[in-house]
């Protein structure tokens, strides 16, 4: 794939970039290692000041960063503003809390003095996706840099200007030269980076094949990885739920980021007693969505990021229909306008055992399942290879406790939509990946947990 900015709302090629040569990559690796040798000795106070400055830049210039995100991958501008603000929040969270999280932990043993010390690992490679082009990077960079590591970013090839802008923000904030560098390279170069002795670990957010490839390369060299991969999150609605509120959140959760989010609600699982009413209300909500120019402030749904994604999503929908599924609304690309637009779509009557049940739909397509009770709801929720997040709606305490305990996912939200929060760990199980980002757990993924024993 070429490294280029192509406006997904128009298909216009705006800017191309020459990938780094092998010599340029080698020079950046040298600089990263040199930076780590100095940066690891800096104080938490200095790192905190720099990260707070990065937060200031993000807040003060959020409109420009938001325009860049919308231009490169098509998310609604109002959502892009929120993304820039959230990046500032994660910077402030770690600037304020990392020192305490990484303080020596005293342990009583037979030693005179014994404790656990947390030390940085070194150069960490981050392979990041296009769908949240700022947030995905900053939720890695903020804890990694506060821990004393340095970062190399291999961003998605369709958001190169976002990648370069992030590097510039960190430089402007005052971090030492080489502490965070963007590598404009293709995916084929990732294995060589993993093999390099200077790279100590890697994190990837993206597809299952990309995650498997990275994990295999890292395993060959016995290097740690954190993977956040796909999801087919259930959105369970039981009879006791506040139905209108649930429907409103269901619409938002499915259409988040033009439907291109790992933690979007992709499968609506509704008990039969209220399924007709849910269907009526959700169809009204979908019909009211404004599809159009993502730069316009009142746009609800913009384009998919690339023509490939549009074609893949449409193929999935048409395959579902051929297998016997029914389209309640939508089901087609918008051919009357340029760009990668797809109609808000709901599919139901999905044949049991068909591929549609197991796949992730990365776009504005929801799957609707009617179930008789909570037992079947939980069974359907768990009947996928994924286990990232789940949203469930009930006012019954016993139902709530069962949903929390029995749903197979890295996160369960009761009466709310799944979201990431710097204060809470984020990640999945099964084929949704392993390891955690955010919170204290995310901070400690890329540190040496050193046992110290003194007599």
Identify the pLDDT of residue 336. 86
Identify the pLDDT of residue 335. 85
Structural domains in the chain, sorted by start: 4-229+432-454 (3.40.605.10), 233-421 (3.40.309.10)
Which residues have CB under 8 Å from 112's CB, separation 6+?
454, 455
**pLDDT over 70 percentage in the chain:** 100
Mapped onto helix, strand or coil, the DSSP state of residue 438 is: coil
Across the range 158-167, mean pLDDT stands at: 98
Identify the pLDDT of residue 223. 98
pLDDT at 1 over 70: no
Q: Are 270 and 373 in contact (CB under 8 A)?
A: no
Judge whether 228 counts as a catalytic residue. yes
CA–CA separation, 313 vs 367, rounded Å? 13
pLDDT at 80 over 90: yes
Which residues have CB under 8 Å from 385's CB, separation 6+?
358, 430, 431
- pLDDT class for 286, splitting at 50, 70, 90? very high
Of the candidates 83, 262, 357, 360, the residue annotated as catalytic is: 262
Q: Are 182 and 156 in contact (CB under 8 A)?
A: no
Which residues have CB under 8 Å from 441's CB, separation 6+?
425
CA–CA separation, 255 vs 260, rounded Å? 8
Q: Are 225 and 201 in contact (CB under 8 A)?
A: yes
Interior angle at CA 202, CA 42 and CA 82, nearest 5: 80
pLDDT at 433 over 90: yes
pLDDT tens digits for range 11-48:
999 999 999 999 999 999 999 999 999 999 999 999 99
Across the range 145-161, mean pLDDT stands at: 98
**pLDDT over 90 percentage in the chain:** 99
Of the candidates 72, 228, 279, 399, the residue annotated as catalytic is: 228
Mean pLDDT in the chain?
98
Identify the pLDDT of residue 237. 98
**DSSP per residue, 114-166:** EEEEEEE-SEEEEE--SSSTTHHHHHHHHHHHHTT-EEEEE--TT-HHHHHHH
Which residues have CB under 8 Å from 288's CB, separation 6+?
none
> Beta 199-205 vs 123-127: how paired, if at all?
parallel
Q: Which two tokens stand for residue 252?
A: 């938002």
**Burial state string for 325-337 with b = 16 or more CB within 10 A and e = fewer than 16:** bebbebbebbeee
Interior angle at CA 94, CA 91 and CA 97, nearest 5: 145
pLDDT tens digits for range 252-272:
999 999 999 999 999 999 999
pLDDT tens digits for range 98-147:
999 999 999 999 999 999 999 999 999 999 999 999 999 999 999 999 99
Judge whether 343 counts as a catalytic residue. no
Across the range 263-285, mean pLDDT stands at: 98
pLDDT at 229 over 80: yes
């Amino acid at each position: 794939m070429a490294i280029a900015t192509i406006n997904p709302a128009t298909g216009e090629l705006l800017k191309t970039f020459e990938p780094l040569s092998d010599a340029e990559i080698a020079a950046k690796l040298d600089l990263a290692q040199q930076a780590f040798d100095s940066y690891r000795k800096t104080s938490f106070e200095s790192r905190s000041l720099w990260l707070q400055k990065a937060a200031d830049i993000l807040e003060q210039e959020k409109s420009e960063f938001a325009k860049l995100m919308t231009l490169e991958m098509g998310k609604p501008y109002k959502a892009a503003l929120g993304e820039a603000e959230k990046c500032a929040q994660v910077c402030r969270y770690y600037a304020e809390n990392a020192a305490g999280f990484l303080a020596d932990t005293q342990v009583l043993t037979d030693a005179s003095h014994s404790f656990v010390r947390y030390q940085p690992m070194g150069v960490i490679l981050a392979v990041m996706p296009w769908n949240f082009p700022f947030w995905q990077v900053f939720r890695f960079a903020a804890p990694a840099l506060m821990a004393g590591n340095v970062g190399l970013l291999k961003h998605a090839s369709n958001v190169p200007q976002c990648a370069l802008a992030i590097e510039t923000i960190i430089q402007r904030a005052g971090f030492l030269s080489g502490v965070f560098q963007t590598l404009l390279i293709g995916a084929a170069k990732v294995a060589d980076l993993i093999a390099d002795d200077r790279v100590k670990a890697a994190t990837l957010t993206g597809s299952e094949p990309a995650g498997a490839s990275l994990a295999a390369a890292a395993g060959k060299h016995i290097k740690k990885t954190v993977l956040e991969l796909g999801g087919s999150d259930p959105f369970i609605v039981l009879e006791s739920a506040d139905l209108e509120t649930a429907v409103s959140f269901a619409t938002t959760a499915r259409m988040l980021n033009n439907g291109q989010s790992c933690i979007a609600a992709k499968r609506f699982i509704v008990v039969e007693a209220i399924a007709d009413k849910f269907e009526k209300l959700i169809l009204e909500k979908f019909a009211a969505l404004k599809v159009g120019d993502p730069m316009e402030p009142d746009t609800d749904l913009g384009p998919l990021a690339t023509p490939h994604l549009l074609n893949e999503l449409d193929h999935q929908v048409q395959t579902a229909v051929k297998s016997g599924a029914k389209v309640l609304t939508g089901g087609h690309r918008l051919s009357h306008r340029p760009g990668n637009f797809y109609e808000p779509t709901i599919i139901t009557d999905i044949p049991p055992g068909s591929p549609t049940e197991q796949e992730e739909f990365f776009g504005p397509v929801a799957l609707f399942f009617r179930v008789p009770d909570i037992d079947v709801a939980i069974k359907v929720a768990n009947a996928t290879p994924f286990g990232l997040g789940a949203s469930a709606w009930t006012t019954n305490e016993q139902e709530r406790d069962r949903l929390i305990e029995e749903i197979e996912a890295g996160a369960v939200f009761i009466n709310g939509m799944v979201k990431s929060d710097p204060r809470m760990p984020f990640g999945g199980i099964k084929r949704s990946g392993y390891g955690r980002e955010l919170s204290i757990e995310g901070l400690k993924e890329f540190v040496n947990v050193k046992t110290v024993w003194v007599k």
